Amino acid sequence: MALETLAITVLWIFLYGYIIIASIDFGAGFFSFFCKVTRRDHIVNAIIERYLSPVWEVTNVFLIFFMVGLIGFFPDTAYYYGTALLVPGSIFLVLQSLRGSFYAFAHYGARNSTAYLFVYGVTGLFIPASLSTVLTISEGGYIEQMAGGEIVLNMGKLLTSSYSWSVVALALVSVLYISASFLTFYADRAKDTAAVKLLRSFAIAWSLPTIFASFLVFLSIHRHNPEHFDKMMDISWLFLLSFACFCGALALQLQKRSYGWAFILVMLQFAFAFFGYGMAHLPYLLYPYITITDSINSPAMGKALVIGLIAGLFLLIPSLLLLLKLFLFDAKYVQGRPIQK
């Protein structure tokens, strides 16, 4: 496999990982806040807390890994995206800083503070919205290189574009849908029937909006970047598989059974769609300025990064499995019973 293909595949896998676990996290924050306001927090918040506590810091690293890896393998992206994204990037940073610190403050310092939960819950919706605009920008048409070489982001165009808003809508509903599907599964493992009932109703409520928003994004890519749309049509079977997974997951949830399989189908639904989108996006990292073949780092650095990656994965994968084993697959922990081995 060519270095650039290998690099973008690995980065895309990590970004996919981030989308799944960050969605769970963002959605959980919003549900905690929502249930607190509607006085149903006693039903779900213990479940949410038990899952989030040990893993919240790991979520952040997936994103940092993607960003650093992107700059390492494709250094041109630092220059173009770095210049263009000063304002949206900074807003994202402020939101994620507030969210991360308020999680710790609320969790370890002042429990039950509605104000802290508000910051935590609401930033969790703004962050995916702001991050998703990076994907919008990558479609081209929003970043322009001036005659003098400087790079400018056309904010007015970004904020008034229907494509941009359809992506934001998709990001928001996906976050809530993925999160509710996962938490239903987690609550089911914890044998907490009241929480399952509530979280399942959230999952079902957000399922149709998710698929509706996906179609909307499809249509607006057609209008905004026909070249990308045509390439997506060439691999339309991936998107059909994605839709099939969605139907399967919804069917299971409606029948109140196999929530674990339902969540795996949800993950597959997003995997097919996300990789289909990504494959059709290639070779461009930013239409029309950066392609993976032009911007790939030198073979020497590429080799060093790949070796680092392999060594890192040997460390990372067993550690992640241990984390999952202790907190996701350990029935006693999930059920909140005291454990002594």
Interacting positions 290-319 with other proteins (CB under 8 A): 297-298, 300-301, 304-305, 308-309, 311-312, 315-316, 319
Residues of this chain, 100-119, that bind other proteins according to CB under 8 A = 100-105, 108-110
List the one residue from 30, 33, 65, 202 that touches other proteins (CB under 8 A): 65
Q: Which two tokens stand for residue 202?
A: 């959230």
The 3-state DSSP class for residue 291 equals strand
Asked if the peptide bond before residue 283 counts as cis, ω within 30 degrees of 0, the response is: yes
What are the two backbone dihedrals, phi and then psi, of residue 148, each rounded to the nearest 5 degrees? -80, 0
- State in angstroms the smallest separation of the CB of 114 from other proteins: 15
- 206-225 residues near other proteins, rule: CB under 8 A: none
Task: Select from 2, 37, 42, 54 the one that contacts other proteins (CB under 8 A).
Answer: 54
Cα gap 74→286, rounded to integer Å: 11
> Residue count at the site for other proteins (CB under 8 A)?
74
Residue closer to other proteins (CB basis): 27 or 72: 72
- Residue 57 C-beta: closest distance to other proteins, Å: 4
Q: Alpha-carbon distance 163 to 223, whole Å?
A: 8
Answer for which of 6, 13, 55, 264 binds other proteins (CB under 8 A) is: 55
Got the DSSP string for 123-190?
A: HHHHHHHHHHHHHHHHTSSSEEE-TTS-EEE-HHHHHH-HHHHHHHHHHHHHHHHHHHHHHHHHHHHT
**3-state class (DSSP) for residue 284:** strand
Mapped onto helix, strand or coil, the DSSP state of residue 287 is coil
Taking the CA of residue 81 as centre, how many other CA atoms within 13 Å lie in the half-sphere pointing to its CB?
23
Closest contact distance (angstroms) between CB of 182 and other proteins is: 17
Min CB(115)–other proteins separation in Å: 11
Closer CB to other proteins, 5 or 83, in the complex: 83
- Taking CB under 8 A as the binding criterion, the range among 157-165, 223-231, 236-244, 323-331 that sits at the site for other proteins is 323-331
Q: For residue 290, what is the DSSP state? A: E
Restricting to residues 142-171, name those near other proteins by CB under 8 A: 150-153
Q: What are phi and psi of 150, to 5 degrees?
A: -75, 155
Please tell me whether residue 67 binds other proteins under the rule CB under 8 A.
yes
At closest approach, how far in Å is the CB of 308 from other proteins? 5
Count other C-beta atoms under 10 Å from residue 223's C-beta: 11
Q: Give yes or no for residue 201 binding other proteins (CB under 8 A).
A: no
* In the complex, minimum distance from the CB of residue 3 to other proteins, in angstroms, rounded to a whole number: 13
94 binds other proteins (CB under 8 A): yes
Report the first-to-last Cα separation within the chain, whole angstroms: 46
Binding mask 73-92 for other proteins (x = CB under 8 A): xxxx-xxxxxxxxxx-xxxx
> x/- contact string, 238-257, with other proteins (CB under 8 A)?
--------------------
